[in-house]
């Protein structure tokens, strides 16, 4: 299996690649602005949109090539990546004015991304100041925390997922 990670400047991008390799899959890190041609040259079976220090609400915020949504590949957005997916497909993201940083208890609401995991005391790492407040049409929330009512999302076709937390940080 080959996974392309589009890097939007996250301090954890190399850690994402390491976690993928620990699962015995190949991963390659490409700049977030890579073209579809550059992405498909690696014959990926999945794409990850990394986190990053920017806000998706800033003018000129980094964005992937929109053609990647035509590739019919599973896409996982982590933190900034989730916020980008939500905003791109018609949801709402706000700048909260505060920064959520540190461990949080994840409360799962279902979906295939969390299949096989028990609900309860799953601790995750949060590092963000933007938050999703409204889902795109047809999308559903699949997890929350005490402070974040939308901590994970899933597209209607089940091909795109977003998580506000950083699973690569354990």
Q: Note whether residue 169 is domain-resident.
A: no
State the residue for tokens 């506000």. Answer: 164
Name the residue among 35, 113, 131 with its Cα closest to residue 75.
113
Q: Note whether residue 127 is domain-resident.
A: yes
Mapped onto helix, strand or coil, the DSSP state of residue 148 is coil
CATH number at residue 148: 3.40.50.880
Q: Note whether residue 168 is domain-resident.
A: no
The predicted structure's pLDDT at residue 23: 94
| Counted domains in the chain | 1
Q: Which structure tokens are listed for 126?
A: 């949060």
Q: Containing domain of residue 30, as a range?
A: 2-163
The predicted structure's pLDDT at residue 145: 86
Could you list the active site residues? 79, 166, 168
Q: Could you list the mean pLDDT of each consecutive 10-residue stretch along the chain, which spans 170 residues?
A: 96 95 96 98 98 92 96 97 97 81 77 76 77 96 88 96 88
Q: Output the CA angle 50-128-19, nearest 5 degrees.
A: 35
Mapped onto helix, strand or coil, the DSSP state of residue 46 is strand
What is the spatial distance between Cα 154 and Cα 170, in angstroms, rounded to a whole number? 23
Q: Note whether residue 114 is domain-resident.
A: yes
Q: Which structure tokens are listed for 43?
A: 């014959």
């Amino acid at each position: 299996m080959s996974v392309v990670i589009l890097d939007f400047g996250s301090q954890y991008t190399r850690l994402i690649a390491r976690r993928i390799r620990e699962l015995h899959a190949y991963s390659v890190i490409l700049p977030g602005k890579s073209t579809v041609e550059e992405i498909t040259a690696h014959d990926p079976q999945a794409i990850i949109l990394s986190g990053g220090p920017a806000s998706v609400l800033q003018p000129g915020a980094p964005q992937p090539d929109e053609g990647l949504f035509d590739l019919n590949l599973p896409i996982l957005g982590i933190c900034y990546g989730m916020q980008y997916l939500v905003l791109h497909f018609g949801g709402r993201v706000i700048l909260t004015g505060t920064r959520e940083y540190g461990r949080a208890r994840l409360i799962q609401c279902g979906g295939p991304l969390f299949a096989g995991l028990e609900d309860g005391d799953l601790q995750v790492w949060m590092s963000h100041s933007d938050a999703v407040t409204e889902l795109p049409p047809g999308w559903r929330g699949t997890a929350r925390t005490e402070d974040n009512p939308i901590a994970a999302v899933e597209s209607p076709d089940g091909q795109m997922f977003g998580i506000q937390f950083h699973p690569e940080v354990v």
